Amino acid sequence: MDSLTTREAIRLVAERLTDELVVCTTGYTCRDMQAVCDRPGNFYMIGSMGLASSIGLGVALAKPCTRVVIFDGDGALLMGLGNLSMIGGLAPRNLIHLVFDNEVFASTGRQPTYSASVPLDRMAAAAGYAVVLRAESPDQLTGGWEKIRTGNGPSFLLVKCHPDEGRPMERVRLAPEAITNQFMRTVRP
């Protein structure tokens, strides 16, 4: 089975986006998304680790007719674990929660997370997500994305991957205020 790096996994999903709003967790996820699919409908979180799912949930509840995708990491999800139960309990049908699980805090030095022994997909199922899938290869990822991108959620796709090698992508170019203003203009046309 072919395995994916985090950057490859993000690229595979980004290439398949249409008009969804995307909330990216802090760190390398934002940088990788900016490199492959920079657009006004992306909210790049700078700092505030663990809160992408809270922000994504808020956007999904405020815009129920718009598909909202959260690009999360295993470390960030574990940091904001209570958000799983909020999403499951509030059950926004337009929310897709992707977790790129490389089992490390990549942007702070590759310290291990607990996701190797804590099944994040099973936690999402227990929290009440309507659809929970797991992908460990490019084919599983693209197939899983196709299943959840038009169905009713909340949906959770755990993407098992490994950390990228080499230099990280460039830092997010916009200041936090500019990111917020650009995203808000997209959300409220």
Domain that holds residue 25: 6-187
Question: What's the domain count of the chain?
Answer: 1
Q: Model's pTM, two decimal places?
A: 0.93
Share of the chain above pLDDT 70, in %: 96
Question: pLDDT band at residue 1, thresholds of 50, 70 and 90?
Answer: low
- Tell me: the pLDDT tens digits for 129-182? 999 999 999 999 999 999 999 889 999 999 999 987 888 778 988 899 999 999
Per the prediction, the chain carries an average pLDDT of 92
Query: Tokens standing for 112?
Result: 């291990």
Cα first-last separation, the chain: 43
The CATH number of the domain where 19 resides is what?
3.40.50.970
Q: How confident is the model at residue 63 (pLDDT cuts 50, 70, 90)?
A: very high
State pLDDT tens for residues 16-55. 999 999 999 988 899 999 999 999 999 999 888 889 999 9
Would residue 1 count as lying in a domain?
A: no
- Going through the chain in order, the beta strands assigned E by DSSP cover 21-24, 42-44, 68-73, 95-101, 104-105, 111-112, 131-135, 155-160
Q: What is the pLDDT of residue 109?
A: 62
Q: Is residue 124 part of a domain?
A: yes
